[in-house]
Amino acid sequence: MQNQNPDADRVFHALGDPTRRAIVARLSLGPLSVSSLAQPLDMTLTAVAQHLLVLEESGLVRTGKTGRVRTCHLETAGLLAAERWIRGCRSVWESRLDRLGEILAEPPDAD
């Protein structure tokens, strides 16, 4: 398992904020404009735009502008870095737990 992964670091940093997780959750239902994303949040459009910038830099969100409307889309490929990291951790722990199970299943030594 690799300890240093800049892509995973950026994704986990982006998802470490509850507002950004809420934005990702809403975008998982489909594309939304920045103003639609900002509507239920108790913050300015500028603050929402800053959160979106972090999400874009992490590869989780893509935005595009058509006319005066900026639309945001979830980039599921951006989640792959986090998924790979989690999968690596899981395989390490599964092998450790399998070995522990083998040790516990061995009959005790008769001294």
Q: What CATH number is associated with residue 21?
A: 1.10.10.10
Q: Name the residue range of residue 35's domain.
A: 6-104
pLDDT > 50? residue 1: no
In a domain, 1, yes or no: no
User: Which one, of 60, 62, 51, 75, lies nearest residue 7 by Cα?
Assistant: 60
Q: What is the pLDDT of residue 94?
A: 77
Q: What is the pTM (predicted TM-score) of this model?
A: 0.75
Domain count, the chain: 1
pLDDT tens readout for residues 3-41: 556 688 899 999 999 999 999 999 999 999 999 999 999
CB neighbour class for 89 (10 Å; exposed up to 12, middle 13-18, buried from 19): exposed
